Amino acid sequence: MSDAIKNRYDFVYLFDVKDGNPNGDPDQANLPRSDAENQEGLVTDVCIKRKVRNYVQLKESLKTPYDIFIRQENILNDVIDSAKGDKPQDRQKDLCGNYFDIRTFGAVLSTGDKGAGTVRGPVQFTFSRSEDRIYQSEHSVTRCAVTTKEEAKKQEKREHASTFGRKATVPYALYRMHGFISAVDAQKTGFSENDLNLLWEALLNAFEHDRAAARGEMNPRKLVVFKHGSHLGNARSGELFDRVVIKKTADLPREWKDYSVEVKKDKLPNGIEIIEKL
């Protein structure tokens, strides 16, 4: 664990969406997620973690130590039971050493015949929240093909046979996510400087290999990192996040340039370094 990170980090991640659905809510007919009280848009932490996992999987091809634990077709109990060691802490160490997402985000490893307890990851994301209210647009879409013979018979008398569907989009929204990286928890999982650099890389490329018609145009816009000079931290995260100030430059924002972003660097607390990745 000697190469685990020794500094605490907090960060602000900005990304936007244009004519797409960044994170549909299955409980609301897959409409873009929103705060029911003020209609600000939401993207879950799980959604962004999935994109980070997918990028790491594409880049590293599931090779140790960058395998991905939470992915399609993985039988988690089999993975847990195959971990080396007779004690839960030994199996945790083995799994953390092999799987990037376990030593980054943590995991529940208490299932299976050889439960290995729970690992709390050093990297935590908040929900992303849009800077303004979002408008949940719904669009009717059609296709000329049908899926069954019964549908075809029903449409034989129509001049232009078609079936109907629905698509939901956000015309435009800028989302803000906060992140926290604990050097204390990193010592427990072995989250290293190489892992940290790969995390930044994954966030900056999260949407490049996740394109889909339903998601429209999604792009990272800014990543502001606050590096602490110590493992416990040199300032409260909330005070640091307040230094990233976003203001509208248009009454109805429809693109990135309709916002201005200022990172206040004056009178920084001792031991704090600001690193702008975008």
- Kindly tell me if the per-residue pLDDT of 2 is higher than 70: no
Coil/strand/helix, residue 136: coil
- Give dist(CA 134, CA 35) in Å, integer: 10
CA proximity to 175, closest of 278, 52, 44: 44
| 2-11, 50-59, 189-198: the lowest-pLDDT one | 2-11
Per-residue pLDDT at 238: 97
What six digits make up the tokens of 200?
Answer: 């930044």
Residue 180: burial class (beta carbons within 10 Å; 0-12, 13-18, 19+):
middle
Instruction: Evaluate whether residue 197 is within a structural domain.
Output: yes
Total of domains in the chain: 1
- Kindly tell me if the per-residue pLDDT of 237 is higher than 70: yes
Instruction: Evaluate whether residue 253 is within a structural domain.
Output: yes
Radius of gyration of the chain (CA): 22
Instruction: Evaluate whether residue 252 is within a structural domain.
Output: yes
Per-residue pLDDT tens for 188-206? 999 999 999 999 999 999 9
CA proximity to 261, closest of 221, 215, 220: 221
Instruction: Evaluate whether residue 20 is within a structural domain.
Output: yes
- Kindly tell me if the per-residue pLDDT of 163 is higher than 80: no
Instruction: Evaluate whether residue 21 is within a structural domain.
Output: yes
Instruction: Evaluate whether residue 152 is within a structural domain.
Output: no
For tokens 């704090």, the residue is 272
Q: How many CB atoms lie within 10 A of CB 200?
A: 16
- Kindly tell me if the per-residue pLDDT of 160 is higher than 70: no
Structural domain range at position 207: 9-139+167-276
- Give dist(CA 213, CA 235) in Å, integer: 42
**What is the phi-psi region of residue 231: left when phi exceeds 0, alpha when psi lies from -120 to 50, beta otherwise?**
alpha
Give this prediction's pTM. Answer: 0.92
Instruction: Evaluate whether residue 92 is within a structural domain.
Output: yes
- Kindly tell me if the per-residue pLDDT of 159 is higher than 60: no
Instruction: Evaluate whether residue 1 is within a structural domain.
Output: no
- Kindly tell me if the per-residue pLDDT of 35 is higher than 90: yes
